[in-house]
């Protein structure tokens, strides 16, 4: 299995270990976080396993069928479901704070994904900065904003059909400068592609296979 260990290229990018937040890659564009306080967050439910935990927050980047299968998830009482339509209102990207977790919608778009109907998410929890790009190609936001930020984990699509391909994703990873960059959404109809993962070669590369859970 290909792996990558990143040191980051931005000076001063050091995070104090505040907890044991975890990331589970379910496959395709689906993944799950559990914060150190046990808050369960699903992003774009559709693929793989790992739906055994009850959700506190569900994030949907857009309404394509392979990103919005909420019926797979059992919800805790008071579960918040945030869709692109909730988080992009009249051209304004929204910010929602739920307990100690901050969720900000950010631009996501390409020829297959309407800018007015799609978002990515920035998630802050346990002192960790996460950028989940959603279905997108290169955006101005990456260059103008993310490149100036200190991102711990960037999660980028790489399929080269509906989104940016591996080469473009590598360029985006270099622009964003996250400590770790996790490639997902590698091939339509597949949870994962070993071939595409092997081609995602960049200093920040962190390959996570479906069903693998890592500590952030």
- Domain locations in the chain? 22-215
- Across the chain, mean pLDDT equals 93
Distance CA 8, CA 29 (A): 24
CB atoms within 10 A of CB 192: 23
Six-digit token pair at 132?
């989940």
Q: 22-215: CATH homologous superfamily? A: Ribonuclease Z/Hydroxyacylglutathione hydrolase-like (3.60.15.10)
**Backbone phi, then psi, for 136, in 5-degree steps?**
-160, 170
Cα angle, residue 191 at apex, residues 185 and 195 outer, rounded to 5°:
75
Question: Tens-digit pLDDT profile for the chain (216 aa)?
Answer: 333 434 344 433 444 444 589 999 999 999 999 999 999 999 999 999 999 999 999 999 999 999 999 999 999 999 999 999 999 999 999 999 999 999 999 999 999 999 999 999 999 999 999 999 999 999 999 999 999 999 999 999 999 999 999 999 999 999 999 999 999 999 999 999 999 999 999 999 999 999 999 999
DSSP class per residue in 157-204: E--SSSS--HHHHHHHHHHH--SEEEEE--STT-S--HHHHHH--STT
Q: How many residues does the chain have?
A: 216
Share of the chain above pLDDT 70, in %: 91
pLDDT (0 to 100) of residue 19: 58
**Backbone phi, then psi, for 143, in 5-degree steps?**
-75, -45
- DSSP character at residue 54: P
Distance CA 141, CA 145 (A): 5
Can you state the percent helix, strand and coil of the chain, rounding each to 5?
A: 15, 35, 50
Task: Give the 3-state secondary structure of residue 105.
Answer: strand
């Amino acid at each position: 299995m290909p792996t990558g260990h990143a040191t980051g290229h931005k000076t001063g990018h050091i995070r104090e270990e505040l907890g044991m937040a975890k990331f589970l890659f379910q496959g395709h564009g689906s993944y799950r976080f559990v914060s150190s306080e046990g808050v369960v967050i699903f992003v774009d439910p559709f693929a793989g396993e790992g739906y055994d935990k009850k959700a506190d927050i569900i994030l949907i980047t857009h309404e394509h069928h392979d990103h919005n299968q909420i019926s797979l998830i059992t919800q805790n009482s008071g579960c918040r479901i945030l869709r692109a339509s909730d988080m992009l209102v009249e051209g304004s990207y929204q910010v929602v704070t739920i307990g100690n977790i901050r969720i900000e919608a950010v631009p996501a778009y390409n020829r297959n994904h309407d800018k007015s109907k799609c978002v990515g998410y920035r998630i802050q929890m346990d002192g960790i900065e996460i950028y989940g790009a959603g279905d997108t190609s290169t955006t101005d936001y990456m260059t103008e904003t993310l490149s100036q930020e200190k991102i711990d984990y960037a999660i980028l699509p790489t399929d080269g059909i509906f989104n940016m391909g591996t080469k473009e994703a590598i360029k985006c990873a270099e622009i964003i400068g996250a400590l770790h960059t996790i490639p997902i959404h590698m091939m339509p109809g597949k949870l994962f592609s070993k071939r595409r993962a092997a081609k995602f070669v960049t200093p920040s590369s962190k390959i996570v296979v479906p069903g693998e859970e890592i500590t952030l």
